[in-house]
Structure 1
Amino acid sequence: MSASRITFLEGQAGQGAALARIAERVRERLASPGAAALRAARRPLFTGIGASYAALAVPVEQLRAAGIVTQRVLSSEIENGTRGFDTDCLIGVSQGGRSSETLAAFRAAGDDIAKVALLNVVPSPLGDLADLTVDLGNEPDSYASTIGYTGTVVALDLIAGVLAGRAGDPWADIERHTAAVHRQAVEVVAALAERGARCVASDGVAAGASRASAEEGALLLREVVRMTGAHSATRNYLHGEMESAGDTLHLVYGDGRELDLARSLAGAGHLTLLITTADVDLAENLYTVRLPRCADAVRVVLETVVLQELVARLSVERNVPIESFVFANQDTKLGGLDLADFEPAAPTPAAAP
């Protein structure tokens, strides 16, 4: 069984309801006797590639705050095994379970550590190598992932909650929050889209769990819009990286130093989209999406909702059909790629007047 493919726009439209389903499914799986090995883990090591690696910033930030030793590592860095990592549990993320690097990491991992696979598609090759699989339920997803990515963030938060011994979770209102933020994003993105489409590159800047959004945003802009995208941790960006600003779309996520950073960029004439829970005054070149105050993982999902609307609109402005991928790297997935995925799933709608 495999998840069916839907368009990017369909993924946006159905995302809130899908995330509510995913949260319920993952809660049940993690409460089952089969999840005992995960509940016993004390030094989890998270691994993935691409968007899956970006999402891992969320549980790592949460668990470190809870005093749990953890880190994330690219799957390609442990293809030769987990020697040198202080871990008792390897948690691998791969939506389809076919990423060649993550499969190699699981094959090379020591027999003395538990292996947990977080997947959307089951059964899958990665699941076959795992001691425990946690799946999203074969949710239909777009090729440039919408529901699969945000659903992974939901599941990772729930996994982190189990590892940290947290009571309850923050996902009860996710469908309502997703719809409200999307409505706001449509309005804000429409106002900046024409200018944003003329930018030659983008920078995403964030701290903490929102680094997942900065990384995912850069990937989406490259995949969907074919715009060069970079990402940086906030404090590192201040140490010289921001000096290259110019004809660049700046995506800033956060409520701390990010506020002054966004004002500085906009004040210097640079197009800046600030995604924050803070109340920010209007300013030239500065566009703001205001998020509700919520748990960090929920915030990352809502930041991604804004990103998805941004890339969908910019793809129209730049006349790049959504999901019209260019490069088919046959060694990234077990069994190669389906070349049909490199055709747009549906025509891109015309830009609104």
Structure 2
Amino acid sequence: MNLKPLKGQHHVSAITANAKKNYEFYTKTLGLRLVKKSINQDDTSVYHLFYADERGNPGTDLTFFEIPHAGHTYKGTNSITLTSLRVKSDEALNFWKNRFEESGVEHDEVSHHTGRSTLGFRDFEGQRLMLVSDENNEGVPGGRPWDKGPVPVEYGIVGLGPVTLTVSKGEYTAKILMDVLGYRETRSFAAYQEGQPDIRVFETGEGGTGAEVHLEERNDLPQERPGRGSVHHVAFRVEDEKELNKWVDWITKTKLPNSGFVERYYFRSLYFREPNGILFELATDGPGFETDESFENLGENLSLPPYFENQRDSIEAKLKPLDTKE
């Protein structure tokens, strides 16, 4: 089958128990723009919040499902354990280190462990995050930070960087990445924990920070029990609907159980789990978030895909008000 390579990260979706505090952290502390305030289309009683660059370009979205009663995350394997966010330069990491210290954000020191300059940090629920410098990046270009946010544009977050998958059986996931999704293995770096295998790096498309997956095998941990501060799934970029339909055929042909074509209105999707149980999504670059809101007003009101519009009154009645108008 003539499939075009995946283009890199599309979005990462995580879990929060507090939409209001989540909104404040990701917009006011991290300077991301809320480009869509919507609902979880599989459970309309909870918010789905999309943070991104100025207009939600593909590859820049970090999204959250609000699950108010979500419990504690018990960290472990067979999960997405680190989401990285790209900044333009090594200098930007120094800006962020100072900003985190002033804001009381839990953070590590600037490191070069992965082969790039990085700065690990956690949000108020323990979400595992890392800033990664694009200083020497030659791969997938980043987006454009929102110039009306609280962070100077030159230091702003420009998109998603590598995601780390931590699994109990590394070869199973590696086989899916390479043989099914067409990734290539490019390098490795030392494990964070002594005595564990090196972390393997896979990339797709143009490569670089926006198109890498880091695969960590751990034999010393139980399986993760997700809760607030955990990641639900990672999505990879597909050019358009025509290409996505080819992927539906291909994934089905490989005998992997999958969702088939799913209409998400702002993009179209396909979901499946790799053998260690991590949920993967393939998502189209378009139509995008300006389908139902203007660029100037993105994220200000509750947006519902047309097929939920007739339920607006009952949906809004179940949601706790969340003021996202500046």
Give the strand-richer structure, 1 or 2: 2
Q: Which protein has the larger Cα radius of gyration, Structure 1 or Structure 2?
A: 1
Shorter-chain TM-score category?
under 0.3
Whose RCO is larger (CA < 8 A, sep 6+)?
Answer: 2
TM-score (norm 1): 0.25
Give the helix-richer structure, 1 or 2: 1
